Structure 1
């Protein structure tokens, strides 16, 4: 457990996360057997297995992922899936998925076997086994709600914390993270050659006037951070944040139902980071 530096809440960021990759690409007429764990599609056959991938931060990602096998292997698996013979099942085939952010995994030779009678077969040879991947790089690519917070990579060189339980949605102008009672809208803006103070003034043109107790502005190195907050006509609380630097700005808008979530909104803004790209 770690304590959030902004609001003090205890956050558990270790453990395991389950992600199902869905049906293999190209499957058109699926026929499922063995409780949905054996798949026939014309002359092709698949068995659903579990792929454990180790991530940084003492985290494991467990993918429910299909292996393409011979029809004979699939038919045998379907016949013994709920019988004593299940415990001795072993499979040899090829990995049936493309998997972000890695390249070249679909079609890779793999094997799997049953370790526990109550669990799916587990991959024992796979290109990703024995490797450790960056948790934020991997999980940023999955548009599903996660039980932990991650650093979400944004277009360009920005990143921001996507807090636990929020589902990301790609918008034309940026990203939205949404969950029960909370939503975050993130937009990257650029104005070449514009100083941070001028950029912020441009962004605030026409903004509502609020008391000084409902706004802040601070210089953070080369960045200028600003926010104002108010209650909307619908009773929701709006937190409008900006992180401006020379030529670029991250606009972060948090909407929340509970007034106590103001600390959460401030935390999200404070988590925004700019990563300078170095050229070789």
Structure 2
């Protein structure tokens, strides 16, 4: 279930099309942290003068992703004052359809980072009902943003906001997990955390400190002190590579807390492992917790 969807960078409406994902940046990076009185919009949200910093126009940056997906970023381009005034004059007029300009990209966006920030770009209006579109980037590396197809998981996993699609997320040390649609992402206290109002998942990596110990014995050590659950509330799965998965779950009747709780481990014969802790409100969401647990994947060398 998708509990949050990104919104259109132009109108703010929620989007549910998995083939086009829109994200908007509220401000150019140079304006972040400035007091509100320094921000001087010119009639519409897409035209902005920042006192002591410069002039900016919000534009669309289309990025082609794998899985036949397009990421459309509503980001800011810094322009000279005369271009901003011209945009203001044309914005609601028929001449807007022919509007084009050059400027420099004004948001830091991963995975392109410093290569894109400050790069000279050209833009034009492709659809009179939308923001101007970045059509060219005059930087030998950053130009690839427009010309190449990027791995969807690699790009979207950098965005902590809720997504309308599942995204495989790198956890480090050759581990990854699927962040399901609708969850925010963050990292705190050694855990990758994925959150929605009705569910959470926290993932951490494990390393057996006893070299050569079989995964089954490592699991026994990890389960020391864990509550004893009924057979219907636990799963154990042997993996083809010699590893194993194990999970158990508790209901509010078991522990007296308001949410259902799910605890899972995936252990590799190399001694590397990952643990996941999920909470959820609806008993039916146990299926989501199990799917997330089963998505834990190790791609390192044994």
Q: TM-score when scaled to structure 2?
A: 0.83
Could you list the structure 1 runs, at least 4 aligned residues long, displaced by more than 3 angstroms after superposition: none
* Corresponding position: 1:117 with 2:141: no
TM-aligned CA deviation for residue 26 of structure 1: 2.0
* Partner in structure 2 of residue 263 of structure 1: 287
Distance 1:178 1:108 in 2: 34
Over 3 Å counting, the alpha-carbon distance change for 1:43 and 1:273 in structure 2 is: closer
* Partner in structure 1 of residue 174 of structure 2: 157
Over 3 Å counting, the alpha-carbon distance change for 1:277 and 1:45 in structure 2 is: farther
Q: How many residues align?
A: 267
- The answer on whether the counterparts of 2:245 and 2:267 sit within 8 Å (CA) in structure 1 is yes
- Name which of structure 1's ranges 226-235 and 140-149 shifts more when overlaid on structure 2: 226-235
Distance 1:197 1:56 in 2: 38
TM-aligned CA deviation for residue 43 of structure 1: 5.5
Distance 2:180 2:56 in 1: 35
Which of 151, 168, 183 is residue 166 of structure 1 equivalent to?
A: 183
TM-aligned CA deviation for residue 13 of structure 1: 8.2
Deviations 1:214-256 (A, max 9, x none): 1111210232100011113134211111001232211111211
Distance 2:116 2:125 in 1: 22
TM-aligned CA deviation for residue 105 of structure 1: 0.8
Distance 2:153 2:203 in 1: 17
Distance 1:235 1:40 in 2: 49
Distance 2:59 2:112 in 1: 19
Q: Within 5 Å, which residues of 2 pair with 1:92-171?
A: 92-103=102-113, 104-126=115-137, 127=143, 128-171=145-188
TM-aligned CA deviation for residue 277 of structure 1: 6.5
Say what the alpha-carbon RMSD is for the aligned residues. Answer: 1.8
Over 3 Å counting, the alpha-carbon distance change for 1:277 and 1:218 in structure 2 is: closer
Which of 34, 39, 46 is residue 37 of structure 1 equivalent to?
A: 46
Q: TM-score when scaled to structure 1?
A: 0.90
